[in-house]
Structure 1
């Protein structure tokens, strides 16, 4: 049993079981017993590496917990995120991914013994049936869990930072866009009074607003006389828009103004009928009692309209935004202007005043949509 030096500390490595055990001498504990923490591994080199990590932790003042597992670290992160105010929907997603993709696979591993190779092997296994986007989320959860453990002196280093996220083997489902003909058909169906979500669909197609921006829209954000809608918030954590540049004022096409005018009259009648049961959120798009739509509510009602339009039930609301961009592009609108209209945060596009202030109002989208769909109505007449 040869003695070696690990940094400034004396250590020994000896055969034990099917591998090796290393012990490092740290003097005596407060009760007078020897302080000799141990590390185990299949090879001498593996044990040496673990002893070196232990010395690094000691010199950094980190008191690692030998039995602190990946599962404990991930659960601690989820508790931490919940306290920070993450939405219930986000936490449900994170919990599902944590349980099914992290804890069930590597949850029992001790965090102090987890290696970059372990993380890489785990990610490669996950990549066999996951999309690249989901892999990034899962890998990010592990990185954040270990970072929190570092901050709390549970572990000395974050091995998840040493590994790149691989590409998923299952392709991410790409959003589609409606053709001009399909969009025209959908707009006609959305105009039917029986579809309460009709105005939502119309405004989405002719403005390119995000689904979370539409759900958070209030009547104080809409000026029907000036034909302008102001995007000031969204149905996201904290209520903020996706980026600061997403705060914008956009002129509305005439069909959107007509649809919103009809919707406001409809809501006034519903509010009168509901009486005290009406929920006063002042939302533009809401249920019959004034309560907010969830994304699931919107998706379900949207499918009813696409089905009525003969387009099937496979479309999703976010594809209305893709449709707006596609139609604008097909009509020759410059990429920089499209980026402005949809509130993209890419700093390489033209920086204009309205991205920082609500004025001036962007009129290009409304002007184009008025011409485009008026021409379509004329052709079909």
Structure 2
């Protein structure tokens, strides 16, 4: 019989039947009988590990439920998250990631048995399938789910916090349309058969984010002064991404023309729909006034792309913003001005996010030196 000390508790591990039993003395119960904590295992090491875990749970006040699994923890977290005022798109995204990346792979593991090694193995197994940004989200979902379980005394510690998120596969790099491609797209977008034509035109000529365009209201648009005011976004609490994202922008002539045509079209649709029309004052919406989803935007966007002779699946709506930055930069607009137009709080963010769309300026120094030392330049023969 081997004597042991785990934390402040003394005990022993001894052979019993085909394995071993460990017992720690916790003092005495109210009725005067000894209070002992017991765990069984195949060998001494397994028994000791179980006793250490039991003591940790005892000291943290956890009341582990052996049938409470990882899937229970993440489902309980999502149920609580669903009652918050976070956006429906975030709730849907989290549900999809949990159902696809967590529950099928580690969901059946009892939460008290989940180890840091289990989490690390799971994350490493997803690196060939998920981009780093997505890996961060699913890892964070597990961490938050276990934190909630800890608050409800389901487990004593959060093993997911002990693991670093690995690097995933390279994400799809954003790109921008060339001037020729953008011109072809805008020409096609002016045709009345395209429901999303005005959206495409405004996105390319203003650089608005997709989440700024979807909730845009007619009350935010002044066609007489050719101005659009960005006051909200389709994200948490409807707030714009940053304070500087709340901005007023001038509208290009073709954008004003496209929006006037859209407003006339919507007036006819409202008249035809009658009482069934849902008036949300949205600039971009379905025939009955209901908001577009992200999928709706992508569907109509591909129709414009394909009609313009561009391959729709190779482009996504957010790259219209990248196109705006690229065209501005190629036209000589300073990065400071571009940064203000796209609503960034600093040029550093613009440089990091749109580095592939910004025209390099590394020859500026050479050009200035040539001017400074012009007299020293060798004369041509």
Larger Rg: 2
Does 1:78 find its partner at 2:81?
A: no
State the secondary structure of the residue aligned to 2:26.
Answer: coil
Q: Deviations over 1:201-249 (max 9, x none)?
A: 0000011111121110001100112211111112224222223332111
Q: Deviations over 1:34-74 (max 9, x none)?
A: 54344466664454344334333433333343443212211
**1:17 & 1:59 partners in 2: Cα distance?**
30
How do residues 231-242 of structure 1 correspond to structure 2 at under 5 angstroms? 231-242=230-241
2:292 maps to what in 1? 293
**Bigger CA drift: 309-318 or 239-248?**
239-248
**2:15 & 2:85 partners in 1: Cα distance?**
50
**2:131 & 2:179 partners in 1: Cα distance?**
30
State the secondary structure of the residue aligned to 2:10.
Answer: strand
Does 1:100 find its partner at 2:100?
A: yes
**Bigger CA drift: 101-110 or 87-96?**
87-96
Q: Deviations over 1:154-202 (max 9, x none)?
A: 222111111111112x332222211111001111111112212111100
How do residues 148-227 of structure 1 correspond to structure 2 at under 5 angstroms? 148-168=148-168, 170-227=169-226
**Bigger CA drift: 151-160 or 181-190?**
151-160
State the secondary structure of the residue aligned to 2:130.
Answer: coil
**1:263 & 1:182 partners in 2: Cα distance?**
23
State the secondary structure of the residue aligned to 2:295.
Answer: helix
2:8 maps to what in 1? 8
Deviation of the 1:83 alpha carbon = 1.5
1:130 maps to what in 2? 130
2:283 maps to what in 1? 284
Q: Relative contact order (C-alpha < 8 Å, sep 6+): which is higher?
A: 1
1:279–1:289 CA contact under 8 A, matched in 2: yes
State the secondary structure of the residue aligned to 1:25.
Answer: strand
Deviation of the 1:80 alpha carbon = 1.0
Deviation of the 1:33 alpha carbon = 6.6
Structure 2 unmatched ranges of 5 or more: 351-381
**1:65 & 1:332 partners in 2: Cα distance?**
64
Q: Deviations over 1:222-277 (max 9, x none)?
A: 01122111111122242222233321111111211111122112222322333223
**1:330 & 1:153 partners in 2: Cα distance?**
58
**Residue 338 to residue 24, structure 1, CA distance change in 2 (3 Å):** farther
**Bigger CA drift: 236-245 or 217-226?**
236-245
The CA RMSD over aligned residues, in Å, is: 2.6
**Residue 256 to residue 57, structure 1, CA distance change in 2 (3 Å):** same
The number of residues matched between the two structures is: 349
1:263 maps to what in 2? 262
Deviation of the 1:93 alpha carbon = 2.9
**1:264 & 1:272 partners in 2: Cα distance?**
12
Does 1:322 find its partner at 2:325?
A: no
1:241–1:247 CA contact under 8 A, matched in 2: yes
**1:50 & 1:7 partners in 2: Cα distance?**
13
**Residue 96 to residue 276, structure 1, CA distance change in 2 (3 Å):** closer
**Residue 59 to residue 230, structure 1, CA distance change in 2 (3 Å):** same
